[in-house]
Chains A and B, each alone.
Chain A
């Protein structure tokens, strides 16, 4: 599974869009990009995933570059409850394991 690189921490003002970047320059053609988040002391929570096309659901949007070497998770209107560690993971859909890494600690500021 490809390795990912994320910033260690980010701040975002409440109500503004939070844009969390992820680099995955060694991603293979059959690997998906997944995003999870972990709110303090809780188990991780699935957010969204994608292969090539941009994806949107009720929680977030995922923008994947055309060369698939990077992606951005967008929380359109961040709230205080979005303060969490966000993990970007790439994994083949046939794989059994997720490698979580250390993620980005997002702090939403009032």
Chain B
């Protein structure tokens, strides 16, 4: 199992450009999440999905859109990148239901710089 993978690992964008970050998991998990982490800060939830075709807003959703067309993939889009979106982006997945929701599996992160 590859677990949770993220593409790309690094990216530099100019202000106003758009891009999509891809998260893929091969563990058949129902739940998937996108977080951002700014320097010296903890992770903050952007959007999440509890199943194929569903998405919901997290703590800091503004400026981002997401889609979950396939169970194994969760895409994060930036339509018009801003310097404030410079951050490290982490994707995670988990199994729903009861005690099994305790563990989220994280990807290696995508380091995004917006100039």
Main SS of chain A's interface residues? loop
Say yes or no for A44: interface residue by CB 8 A criterion: yes
CB of B2 closer than 8 Å to a CB of A: no
- Find B102's partner among A42, A93, A103 (CB 8 Å cutoff): A93
A98→B104 contact, CB < 8 A = yes
Taking residues whose C-beta sits less than 8 angstroms from the other chain, chain B's interface range is: 20 to 34
The minimal Cβ–Cβ distance linking B27 to chain A, given in whole angstroms, is 14
Query: A102 touching B42 by the CB < 8 A rule?
Result: yes
Chain A interface residue number, banded: 20 to 34
A98 and B4 alpha carbons, distance in the complex (Å) = 18
A100 and B44 contact, CB distance less than 8 A = yes
Of all chain A residues, which has the CB nearest B90? A43
> Which residues of A pack against B, CB within 8 Å?
32, 34, 36, 41-46, 49, 87, 93, 95-103
Q: List 16 A-B contacts (CB under 8 A).
A: A32-B102, A42-B108, A43-B107, A43-B108, A43-B109, A44-B92, A44-B104, A44-B106, A45-B106, A46-B102, A49-B102, A93-B98, A96-B48, A98-B43, A101-B42, A102-B40
Which 4 residue pairs are nearest across A and B when measured between Cβ atoms?
A: A43-B106, A100-B42, A100-B43, A46-B103
